[in-house]
Amino acid sequence: MPRTASRLTFLLAFLLFPGLIWAQTGTGLITGKLVGSKGQPLENMSVSLKKTGMGVNTAEDGTYELRAAAGNQLLHISGLGYITQELTVDVVAGKTTSVPVTTLVVNPHQLAEVTISEGRNINQRPTSISKLPVASLDLPQSAVTVERQVLEQQQVLRLSDALVNVSGLYVTSTTGGTQEELGSRGFAYGSNNTFKNGVRFNNGVMPEASSLERMEVLKGSTAILYGNVAAGGVLNLVTKKPQLQRGGSVGLRVGSFGFWKPMVDVYGAVGKSEKVAFRLNGTYEQSNSFRDQVQAQRLYVNPSLLFELTPKTSLLLEGDFLRDNRTPDFGIGSINYEIPASRTRFLNVDGAKNETNQTSTTATLTSQLTDAWQVRGVAGFQHYDNLLLSATRPVASGAAATYGDLTRGLQRTEIDENYFLAQLDLTGKLRTGRLEHTVLLGADADQYETNTLAFTNPASAADPKKAVTAYDIINILDRNKTIKQPGERLTGFQDLVRNTNTQANTRRAGFYAQDLLSLSEKVKVLAGLRWSYQETPSDVYYYNTVANNNANVPNTTTKLAGQLVNNRRYDNAFSPRLGVVYQPLKTMAVFASYANSFQPNTGIDAAGKALAPSTFDQYEVGVKNDLFKGLLSANVTAYRIVNSNLAQTYLGQLTDADGKVTNNLNTNIKELAGEVTSKGVEVDVQSKPMMGWTIITGYSYNNTAYTKSNIYENGSRLRYNPAHTANLSLYYNFSSAFGEHTFLRGLSAGITSYYVGDKMAGRNTRKYDPATGQPFATADAFKLISIPNYTLFDASLGYAYERFSVRVKLANILNELSYNLHDDNSVNPIAPRTFSATASYRL
């Protein structure tokens, strides 16, 4: 730690030194006032310096003060719903320059989906994922947004790069090296909790970050808005939108391990139209890896069109296509639940591949019915398909447990999925007496059609009642070691035969109502209720194989032999929400809330009936602060989440048809008698540009554990969830210190640090074995794996001159080594020290 601290001190000193010496040299003060067409003062409008991007928001009376370098300055004035203006101001060093009162005119062509967020802090920005047109400060819930400027400064390539800006949001695992699985507050996000433009997307593939306008995180329970979602929160990725003014950029990013990525982003009006705009984002990516034999290729296209049908009605059409082909990589393996340290060791077979295609289209119709009421309808479709050819995962308790010898098998799966969504929201404001209401009424329905084709091992030529399971034997520690290969072997993926075809067709619907009630200027109450319905039919068909046919005759034809399982589940649940916000100051809010969410279960109870959903009770308290006239936002949240009816294996006795009483050995028979409790604290701090500085920092603590279980020790923590995370990002724009007329104009620098500590994987030790119905006489074969704590340090440098810009980044400067684990079978090292550079030209 002393070595790490000294390096961090050096980096901070490097960035702080010029600001401390020159921050106040050669500057003057600009003052002014913004009003509307009727002379009313305009609050929260953005006033910034065009060249540096530094800016402030107007106060309640429409006034602003902005310090700038001496000389001619171009002021950029903007606000949601108003036409942007630019004014030239001659700043004199050491003096105050007063700008005449500026009148802003309402923009009749303001694009419905564009939110002008420059100058707004995280508490002032509304989030589209919350569905309410109110600032985050008014919500009894923690919300964080990460804007495009930050994403570009940090040269975000994957979502894991952007998570360092949000406390308590972390990567749980990177199974197979093909995806980044996320979690928050002790619960995995999954595809139910990840959204793009408010529509769920399959997170089995890493989403493209270059097209993002911002990233929104709504922490805690959001079941009232989206139904069946995990209790930790939801993530929404908002892509760049069409604009009527022409512009865009082209760029090229290169980096370590043969990485290169050309990018293009163009937008503007269609022809000379003032009512139709377009945008097109696209990129191609190709790279090797720090991992031996691992390669990747990606192609991404994101077109969109916006039609202004009437002055109050707009239609936004968005497309999204991603093709991702990469080498599946289940990591370096483990031996008897211990990780033999390595960063490069590759354990897959030649010819392994993971091919994914994801295509989606979304249509959003928005109509401003009156000044106070708006209706928004969304229709979406997504197609996802995946082909996986790989060696089987190296499991810690397998043959490699003692000597490192690993018998590799082969696996193959094919997934084809269609997803449909329809959603309608009505939002508005009204008054009843002295009470003001911000109302949300909505309904949604969606459907997943998923077809999964699984392959299995063929029958042995010597004994048709047995299957050939092994491909070869290698040694994890020494890949050059020669190992005798006895018995019949698989020769390749072509030997695998069709086993099962699972056809699932999940259908969901929900109706919800929510009211943010202003009892006074200082007290607000948010109350709402949702009813959700979910139908989950799942049909499993089988082929004639050794695995599922008594005749033990493999069949490699495409004809289905019969139906194996026919499942039908019907679940419904109510999800209430209640929160109180107290604002002793306009810049401060104290809140407390309760929310309930649900999770459907599989299996049956002891009476043979379908198991009811589990419910989660979530309690949250916090304080949100805007300090120094809104320049700095500091939010603290504490929470407790309890699943008091966790589904666990039923360990009681059953009576069969003959009246015989036996212990239950069927793990599909369960009871709602377990409990998991998650509790923690999160801190998020963000600033607007201040004298050239921008800061983002945060901290989170979480403990998620079994508090009642018949299999696991009470108090034992759930896997994948770090007890502590911390983040700090500092950026400095040198123009504010050195002035606008030196070669340092356009220079910026930054550092980002991210700490992840005390994290477990592997498999929780059990005190009872449901497969035998007996307590473990000796130590459980399952063990937890402790993941090394680590701290990442990244440094970046950028320079912009007129339309050209260059950014360079050095990631993981200290070359830290740690891992992301899934169970004990996908031990994936984090990336080493890497270098990247991005050059771009603004059109």
Distance, in Å, from the CA atom of 727 to the CA atom of 163, rounded to the nearest integer, reads: 9
Considering the segment(s) 28-103 as one domain, its CATH architecture is Sandwich (2.60)
In this prediction, residues 227-254 reach a mean pLDDT of 92
Asked whether the predicted pLDDT for residue 195 surpasses 50, the reply is yes
Find the range with the poorest average confidence among 20-24, 517-521, 579-583, 669-673: 20-24
- Map residue 119 onto helix, strand or coil: coil
Query: Is residue 482 very low, low, confident or very high in pLDDT (cuts 50, 70, 90)?
Result: confident
Handedness of CA 171, 176, 179, 181 (dihedral sign): negative
Give pLDDT, residue 663: 76
Q: Tokens at residue 183, please?
A: 């979690």
Contact call for residues 232 and 704 (beta carbons, < 8 A):
no
pLDDT category, 773, cuts 50, 70, 90?
low
CA torsion, ordered 65, 67, 71, 73, to nearest 10 deg: -60
Residue 76 has pLDDT above 80, yes or no: yes
Fold of 247-842: Maltoporin; Chain A (2.40.170)
Q: Pick the closest to residue 419 from 113, 127, 194, 184 (CA basis).
A: 194
| Cα angle value 217/219/222 (rounded, 5°) | 100
Instruction: State the Cα–Cα distance between residues 618 and 194, nearest whole angstrom.
Output: 20
DSSP state of 311: T
- Dihedral angle at the C-alpha atoms of 107, 113, 114, 116, nearest 10 degrees? 90
Would you say 107 and 83 are in contact if contact means Cβ atoms under 8 Å apart?
yes
* Helix H or strand E segment including 127: none
Q: 432: which 2 tokens?
A: 């009843």
**pLDDT on residue 495:** 95
Half-sphere exposure of 800 (CA within 13 A, CB side): 18
How many CA atoms lie less than 13 Å away from 335 in the CB half-sphere? 12
Q: Among 266, 241, 275, which Cα is nearest to 109's?
A: 275
Q: Nearest to residue 835, comparing CAs of 800, 806, 795?
A: 795
Tens digit of each residue's pLDDT (9 = 90 or more) over 586-619:
899 999 999 999 888 888 888 888 888 899 999 9
Q: Which residues are registered as beta bridge partners of 48?
A: 55, 76
Nearest 5°: the CA angle 425, 426, 432 is 145
Strands 276-287 vs 194-196: parallel, antiparallel or unpaired: unpaired
674 and 647 Cβ atoms separated by less than 8 Å: yes
Q: What is the pLDDT of residue 760?
A: 92
CA angle 47, 805, 117 (to 5 degrees): 30
- According to DSSP, residue 267 is labeled E
Contact 148, 125 (CB under 8 A): no
Contact 551, 545 (CB under 8 A): no
Does the pLDDT at position 229 exceed 80? yes
Question: pLDDT confidence of 16, banded at 50, 70, 90?
Answer: very low
Please report, in angstroms and rounded to a whole number, the separation of the first and last CA atoms in the chain: 46
pLDDT cut 90: percent of the chain above it: 56
Encoded amino acid at 840, one letter = S
β-strand partners of 71: 91
Residue 115 CA, chain-centre distance (Å), reads 21
Does the pLDDT value for residue 21 go beyond 60?
no
Which residue pairs, CB below 8 angstroms and at least 24 apart, start in 738-743? 738/18, 738/22, 739/25, 739/26, 739/69, 739/70, 739/71, 740/51, 740/52, 740/69, 740/71, 740/73, 741/69, 741/71
Is the confidence at residue 644, as pLDDT, over 80? Answer: yes
Q: What is the pLDDT of residues 430-439, one digit of tens each?
A: 999 889 999 9
Residue type, 96: T
Beta strands at 834-842 and 247-255: parallel, antiparallel or unpaired: antiparallel
Residue 126 binned pLDDT confidence (cut-offs 50, 70, 90): confident
Which CATH code fits 134-235?
2.170.130.10
> In whole angstroms, how far apart are CA 716 and each of 616, 724, 725, 757?
19, 17, 20, 17
Spatial strand order of the sheet with 71-78 comes to 55-57, 46-49, 71-78, 85-91
Question: What DSSP line would sit under 229-257, residue for residue?
Answer: --TTEEEEEEE----SS-EEEEEEEEETT
Provide the percentage of residues in the chain whose pLDDT is more than 70. 88
**Total residues found in the chain within this entry:** 843
User: Taking residues 235-244, what's their average pLDDT?
Assistant: 93
Residue 415 tokens read as 């997934």
What does the block give as tokens for 709? Answer: 């279980």
- Backbone angle region of 246, left / alpha / beta, with phi > 0 → left and psi within -120 to 50 → alpha: beta
Tell me what the mean pLDDT of segment 796-822 comes to: 94
Considering only CA atoms, which of 578, 565, 406 is closest in space to residue 485?
A: 406
3 state DSSP class of 9: helix
How many C-beta atoms surround the C-beta of residue 271 within 10 A? Answer: 6
305-348 pLDDT per residue, tens: 999 999 889 999 999 999 999 999 999 988 888 888 899 999 99
- Eight-class DSSP state of 718: P
Confidence band (pLDDT; 50, 70, 90) for 565? low
DSSP state of 163: G
| Structure tokens, 295 | 């390669």
pLDDT (tens digit per residue) in 255-277: 999 999 999 999 999 998 889 99
| CB hemisphere CA count around 422 (13 angstroms) | 4
What mean pLDDT is reported for the chain? Answer: 86
The stretch 797-816 carries a mean pLDDT of: 94
Query: Residue 26's pLDDT band (boundaries 50, 70, 90)?
Result: low
Confidence (pLDDT) at 805: 93
Give the pLDDT of residue 485.
85
Rg, C-alpha atoms of the chain: 29
Which residues lie closer than 8 Å to 438 by C-beta, 6 or more apart? Answer: 132, 133, 134, 427, 428, 429, 515, 516, 518
Spans of all domains in the chain: 28-103, 134-235, 247-842
Q: Which one-letter amino acid corresponds to residue 660?
A: K
pLDDT at 633: 93
Sorted by sequence, the CB contacts under 8 Å of residue 395 that are 6+ apart come out as 823, 824, 825
d(CA 709, CA 674): 5
Q: Are 189 and 181 in contact (CB under 8 A)?
A: yes
d(CA 349, CA 473): 11
**In contact, 34 and 62? CB cutoff 8 Å:** yes
**Band of residue 507 on the pLDDT scale cut at 50, 70, 90:** very high
The pLDDT of residue 111: 39
Residues 6+ apart with CB under 8 A from 385: 356, 357, 414, 415, 416, 417
Beta carbons within 10 angstroms of residue 557's beta carbon: 10
State the Cα–Cα distance between residues 268 and 274, nearest whole angstrom. 10
SS3 content of the chain, % helix, strand, coil (to 5): 5, 55, 40
In tens, the pLDDT along 441-473 reads: 999 999 999 999 999 999 998 888 899 999 999
Angle at 330 between CA 324 and CA 333, to 5 degrees: 165
* Average pLDDT score over residue span 660-685: 88
Sequence letter at residue 607: A
